[in-house]
Structure 1
Amino acid sequence: MKVTKFGGSSLASASQLEKVFNIVQADPERRFVVVSAPGKRDAADTKVTDALIQYYKRYIKGDDVTASQDWIIDRYQAMVDELGFTAKSMKKIAQSIKDLATLPIENNDFLYDSFLAAGEDNNAKLIAEYFTYRGLPARYVHPKKAGIIVSSEPGNARILPSSYDKIEELREADEVLVIPGFFGVTIDNQICTFSRGGSDITGSIVAAGVKADLYENFTDVDGIFAAHPGIIKNPHSIKELTYREMRELAYAGFSVLHDEALLPAYRGRIPLVIKNTNNPDHPGTQIVLEHSSETLPVVGIAADDDFVSINMSKYLMNREVGFGRKVLQILEDLNIRFEHMPTGIDDLSIVLRERELTPIKEEEILRQLKTKLEVDKAEIEHGLSIIMIVGENMKSHVGVTATATAALSQQNVNLAMISQGASEVSVMFVVKTEEKEKALKALYQAFFAE
């Protein structure tokens, strides 16, 4: 039994929907289909989700929203016309798009989520009807009816553990169930979306809930590459990853799969495969609990931008009890999350994402470090990128870090920091952003040239 999720690019047009239908019909084990909102048909097009954001902005400003409503409705109608069938669901879709402009604006924490979720919700209605029209019995299931009950955290919903019993009941359905991704419903009956890449999370939740044998995530690439194809020409394709490896790679910039999506499937011990809607016969990349055979020490190299480092020095820092706690307390009081914390005996650096800071927060951090902790030196360094080499097999190979640092040295890449966790699944290098691409190419050459 398989749960199959399709991304926005897989559902952008009638021709793509035709491919999706053929994929689902080809395997009777594909009993649950999770869908995103329609993506771009071409580079100049607009995603339905982006159109819904514009609609929302016009509505809260009090502007005329007719053009926004018409564009979104016409987008669904265009797919129906191209597919050549009369969709009864179009009346419901049009009404639901217009009804968004009747929702209360004041004291409505879930208004934005309600607008965003409409893209997936209406696409699921249309796809279920199209499947049935083509002779594959299918039924649209709203997340509330599916049992996807979530926490009341707008834009960052989390599944409630009690939901899984209700989701498991979906196994009893005879037809293919089409479920909109990206959102759930709170106990108070409010639409609440997951964080970015939320349709991946829905697919993972459904797969865990129905105890699927496989969670298929269809996108527009042949699985996962060992490095970013925009930087590395024709990168090596990865056949198999463990959940821990995928988590590290997703964190450090691999955007094929949202890192939060891994959690429900990981806990449910359900293997996952990334496949290509446009090339469904390609085996894709399997994500499993443990490797099925011997692998390379490094399976992938990821890079991500927009990091900053808070650097501080204090003589005899290591002898001061509670120093690290006091530093982290400053960040906690300012509601700042940190990512990494490399240390020396008299030095401490805290790496965090640029979005966590504002000029006022930066000023306050430096002030408190100097006045409360009496550091000798404190500075905040911007324009940093992290590069991670990832592989569970690294711990059984001597010299992986040495190979990496030698490759970077040969290309005159200056390392700001190196960090490795106790699990030895990854090694992180911090470099200046302008040196990121050069560093990534050097590391790829060192580990994958053969």
Structure 2
Amino acid sequence: MTNTSSPSHTVEKIGGTSMSRTSELLDTVLIGDRKGEDLYNRIMVVSAYGGMTDALLEHKKSGEPGVYSLFASSESGWTWGDALSKVAQRMLEKNADIFTDDGPREAADRFVKDRIEGVRSCLIDLARLCSFGHFQLEQHLLTVREMLSSLGEAQSAHNTALLLKMHGVNSRFVDLTGWRDENQYTLDEVIDRAFADIDLSRELPIVTGYAQCRETLMKTYDRGYSEVTLSRVAVVTGAAEAVIHKEFHLSSADPKIVGEDAVRVIGETNYDVADQLSNMGMEAIHPRAAKSLRQAGIPLRVKNAFDPDHPGTVIRSDLETREPHVEMVTGLKGVFALEFYDQDMVGVKGYDSEILDALTRHKVWIIAKTSNANTITHFLKGSLQAIKRVETDLAKAFPNSDIGLRKLALVSAIGRSLNEPSILPKAIASLAEEGIMPLGVHDLIRKVDLQVLVEETDFEATLRALHRGLIENWTGERSDQSALEAVA
């Protein structure tokens, strides 16, 4: 296919949790009320079924080892093989849930067995090769990680294409995983070659969320690669819009915390806000994936996969707000404040870079940062073990410094423009009404987010208080002076 001057198709990504609800997806995103031509001019990029990538790599939250972690660990011996067999069994059970007819189920099972046993043979050969001193396993682990991860994406894409064919849709399985492909291409070349002979007006491509390419997506994005695939497919094919289907709406707060009746769907915002949400772990879209869409002028729509009639939230770079206001209140628990204090740093350069090097070396995620004449504080998300290693490195590099570590929560009020004088005092007043004393407040010049640091025990109460004060009861009519008086 070739790009057109007036694009008409969309590129749509379905996440793993949503993919697990296959029968519901048929009635909403995949088919729904569509008939004939309305089924086409779409490209579907799919993630692995929920939990499958955790089993193949490691659990995203708990860190429980999967096949990859066991293979990478020299102490695990051959236990990775048993773990791979369990993944295979899990995949076959998923096939049985989806396909009730013998023919399609057997085709799906053959596909899974071929991929699983192909990977098993490859890993056995690699382990034997690396048992000799001339070959180091560490040099191949990224490739192993990519190969294992691609198994889940390939199964879900293959199954979805097969299922749609059973329902009369002219679907096509588009495998970007590089399975048994001896050539190496850039990501754009991989996509261009895959879509070269596809007529979007007559076919519905079901694309693997993982793409094997020269850039090595997992090296940069790790498990956020499917959003990169989405964005580059949209750009290369010249899409009119990119769509991400989630199992929930992009709302003003977590309804489980502030209440279903209190939250509202955001509706529209820009990529700047999307970046802030990603920093808070919301992951509307990976910031680097958003860059491609921004530069190409392609809007992104975030929809609830199971509320198909709702338009969702559209994200565009040119969407400015009509008046300053908070659009979302979100946050993170388990944030570590790493406070580095050294009176020798006054007027001296180099401390910042040393701290950043240590954080980068131990792969610790920086959420925010503050500094003054002799103190630099980073607010971090990561394992305590990794952060302790950072602390140890810095103590060795700066023996005269005092380094403190504290666990807290960070809550952020986010919007396209918070350039309204009453927002900060209203936030403080809302917290005071609930008896919450903030440990710190960051109100930066760009006015896209207001960050409040609180004790972990105050996390949910802070979310509710800020949402009520800055969104539910916000009028925008209070003057700066009256808001300040309310605080007093």
Matches within 5 A, 1:360-439: 360-369=389-398, 371=399, 374-375=400-401, 378-395=402-419, 397-439=420-462
**CA-CA distance at 1:394 after TM superposition:** 1.2
Counterpart-to-counterpart distance in 1, 2:102 and 2:10: 26
Q: 1:98–1:316: structure 2 CA closer, same or farther, 3 Å change rule? A: closer
How many angstroms apart in 2 are the aligned matches of 1:22 and 1:335?
42
Match of 1:272 among 276, 280, 300: 300
Matches within 5 A, 1:20-169: 20-23=29-32, 25=34, 27-28=38-39, 30-39=41-50, 47-53=51-57, 54=66, 61-63=77-79, 65=82, 66-81=85-100, 88-104=107-123, 105-106=126-127, 107=137, 108-109=140-141, 110-143=143-176, 166=193, 169=196
Q: Residue 336 of structure 2: SS of its match in structure 1?
A: strand
The 10-residue stretch of structure 1 (212-221 or 291-300) with the greater mean CA deviation from structure 2:
291-300
After superposing the two structures, state which structure 1 stretch, 291-300 or 1-10, moved more.
Answer: 291-300
For 2:301 and 2:184, how far apart are their aligned partners in 1? 28
Tell me how far 1:305 sits from its aligned partner. Answer: 2.3
Equivalent-residue separation in structure 2 for 1:398 and 1:293 (angstroms): 16
Unaligned runs of 5+ in 1: 40-46, 153-158
SS in 1 for 2:368: coil
- Following the alignment from structure 1 to structure 2, what is the Cα–Cα distance between the partners of residues 449 and 240? 17
CA distance in 1 between partners of 2:189 and 2:94 (Å): 37
Q: Deviations over 1:388-414 (max 9, x none)?
A: 11112212x222222212222333323
Instruction: State how far apart, in whole Å, the 1-side matches of 2:19 and 2:236 are.
Output: 24
Moved more, 274-283 or 109-118: 109-118
Decide whether the 8 Å contact of 1:87 with 1:129 is kept in 2: no
TM-score (norm 1): 0.82
The alpha carbon displacement at 1:339 in A equals 3.9
| 1:155 alignment partner in structure 2 | none
Partner SS state of residue 442, structure 1: helix
**Secondary structure of 1:81's partner?**
coil
1:289 equivalent in structure 2: 317
Q: Which moved more, 1:245-254 or 1:128-137?
A: 128-137
1:226 shift after superposition: 0.6
Cα 1:193–1:80 shift into 2, 3 Å: farther
Separation in structure 1 between the aligned mates of residue 434 and residue 274 of structure 2, nearest angstrom: 28
Contact 1:171 1:210 in 2 (8 A): no
C-alpha RMSD of the superposition: 3.6
Mapped partners of 2:100, 2:169: distance in 1: 20
1:219 pairs with 2:246: yes
Identity, % of aligned positions? 19
Deviation at 1:246, TM superposition (A): 1.4
State the SS of the aligned residue for 2:393: helix
2:23 aligned partner: 15
| Partner-residue secondary structure (3-state), 1:446 | helix
Query: 1:71, CA displacement in angstroms?
Result: 3.1
State the Cα deviation string for residues 337-375 of structure 1 (Å, max 9, x = none): 644331233433222224373434323323433x3xx44
Give the distance between the partners of 1:83 and 1:13, measured in 2 at CA: 21
Q: Could you tell me whether the CA contact under 8 Å between 1:49 and 1:116 is conserved in 2? A: yes
Contact 1:236 1:448 in 2 (8 A): no
Per-residue CA distance 1:20-46 (angstroms, 9 max, x = gap): 43149453454211111223xxxxxxx
Aligned length: 428
Shift of 1:276: 2.1
| Match of residue 467, structure 2, among 411, 425, 444 | 444
Tell me the secondary structure at the aligned position of residue 283 of structure 1: coil
Counterpart for residue 156 of structure 1: none
Partner amino acid, structure 2, of 1:95: D
Q: CA deviation at 1:139?
A: 1.1
TM-score normalised by the chain length of structure 2: 0.76
Query: Which residue of the partner structure matches residue 210 of structure 1?
Result: 237
Q: 2:228 aligns with which of 170, 192, 201?
A: 201
- List gaps (5 residues or longer) in structure 2: 1-8, 58-65, 128-136, 474-488
Deviation at 1:281, TM superposition (A): 0.7
Q: Which one is further off, 204-213 or 127-136?
A: 127-136
Contact 1:33 1:176 in 2 (8 A): yes
Q: Pick closer, same or farther for the CA change 1:251–1:322 going to 2, 3 Å.
A: closer
How far did 1:131 drift?
Answer: 1.8
> Judging changes above 3 Å, is the alpha-carbon distance between structure 1 residues 129 and 231 closer, same or farther for their aligned structure 2 residues?
same
Q: Is the 8 A contact 2:253 2:330 kept in 1?
A: yes
Distance in 2 of aligned mates of 1:189 and 1:257: 19
Letter in 1 for 2:408: L
Using a 3 Å threshold, how does the CA distance of structure 1 residues 384 and 259 change in structure 2: closer, same or farther? farther
Structure 1 counterpart of 2:53, one-letter code: T
2:227–2:289 contact (8 Å) kept in structure 1: yes
2:395, 2:378 → 1: CA distance?
13
Aligned to 2:4: none
**2 CA distance for matches of 1:90 and 1:447?**
52
**Are residue 253 (structure 1) and residue 269 (structure 2) matched?**
no
Aligned partner of residue 385 in structure 1, secondary structure: strand
Mean CA deviation greater in 102-111 or 434-443: 102-111
Q: Is the 8 A contact 2:362 2:387 kept in 1?
A: no
For the 8 Å contact 1:204–1:264, the answer to whether it is kept is yes
State the Cα distance separating 1:295 from its structure 2 match: 5.1
Aligned to 1:77, the other structure's residue is in SS state helix
CA distance in 1, matches of 2:67, 2:455: 39
**Taking structure 1 as reference, are residues 87 and 218 closer, same or farther at Cα in structure 2, changes over 3 Å only?**
farther
Q: Is the 8 A contact 1:150 1:192 kept in 2?
A: no
For the residues of structure 2 that align with 1:75 and 1:58, how far apart are their CA atoms? 23
More divergent stretch after superposition (60-69 vs 299-308): 60-69
